[in-house]
Amino acid sequence: MVIDMCPLSMVEDAAFKAMISTFHPNYELPSRTFFTKQMEKKYEGVKAKMKQALQEAESITLTTDIWTSIATEAYMGVTCHYLGKNWKMVSHCLTTMPLEERHTAANIAQWIEEVITKFDIPAEKIKAVVHDNGANVVAASKILQERFRKLRFLPADEVFKVQNAVRAMALAAKQQVRQPTASNHGTSSTEAPAAYAEEATPFFDSDTTTSDEDQDAEKQLNAVEQEVSK
């Protein structure tokens, strides 16, 4: 039912009951109420684990976005991101909520605050909220900044600028670490840089960086080098 997005009421359909009876005549099919309670119980269990994980996280960043489905139904999603064990990025979708009211700045601010409260996220642990440049979302961020003084609200394009800068620095480090060095005997040797590169490259060569992004980063790096050499 979950995989095919079927409603729980399916277990009460005559055809479904007949199919189950054919497979197992003596099986007593649980009611829709039973499955509803099981799902609610599972949800509360996952929610409790999520709260615990967020309490243990040192710092948290939220991303939020509002979009409209093909059926012209509006939704708002809020996702949290933090560093887990071994410095691995962990991301969880906290909510994908249908929006039945107007998307005013006050409503959006309230919805985001409700998510923060729902998962007991300490405000001091939220370092930033990344959002799009929609006028209502930008206005909502200003409302929340008044309530959460230390919270930073970053438009997505500013985050991408930082991301590109990090990629440029990563590329510079990769180029530097791969350069051959002269040994005491006047011959080129790449053994030492290669040893460092072997450790550093897996971090820089992330699967999330495409060749196009590397080219963009290289262009930015070249521009920086030209500016410095002036």
The two three-digit tokens of residue 177, written as one number: 């670490």
Contacts of 58 (CB under 8 A, 6+ apart): 82, 83, 125
Does the pLDDT of residue 149 top 80, yes or no? Answer: no
What average pLDDT does range 12-36 have in this prediction?
Answer: 91
Residues 6+ apart with CB under 8 A from 83: 57, 58, 59, 89, 90
Predicted pLDDT of residue 93: 93
What would the pLDDT profile of 180-200 be if each residue is shown by its tens digit? Answer: 554 444 544 445 444 544 444
What's the whole-number average pLDDT of the chain?
Answer: 76
Residues 172 and 153: their CA atoms lie apart, in Å, by 29
In the predicted structure, residue 7 carries a pLDDT above the cut 60? yes
Alpha-carbon gap, residue 164 to 223, rounded angstroms: 13
Q: What is the reported pTM?
A: 0.61
Contact 197, 205 (CB under 8 A): no
pLDDT bracket for residue 40 (50, 70, 90): very high
The predicted structure's pLDDT at residue 23? 92
For 87-104, write each residue's pLDDT tens digit: 889 999 999 999 988 889
Q: Reply yes or no on whether the pLDDT at 17 is more than 60.
A: yes
Strand partners, 130: 63, 154
Q: Is the pLDDT confidence value at 20 over 60?
A: yes
* Alpha helical stretches, state H, 148-229: 156-178, 191-204, 211-229
Which residues make beta-bridge pairs with 75?
A: 67, 98
Identify the band that residue 138 occupies on the pLDDT scale cut at 50, 70 and 90: confident
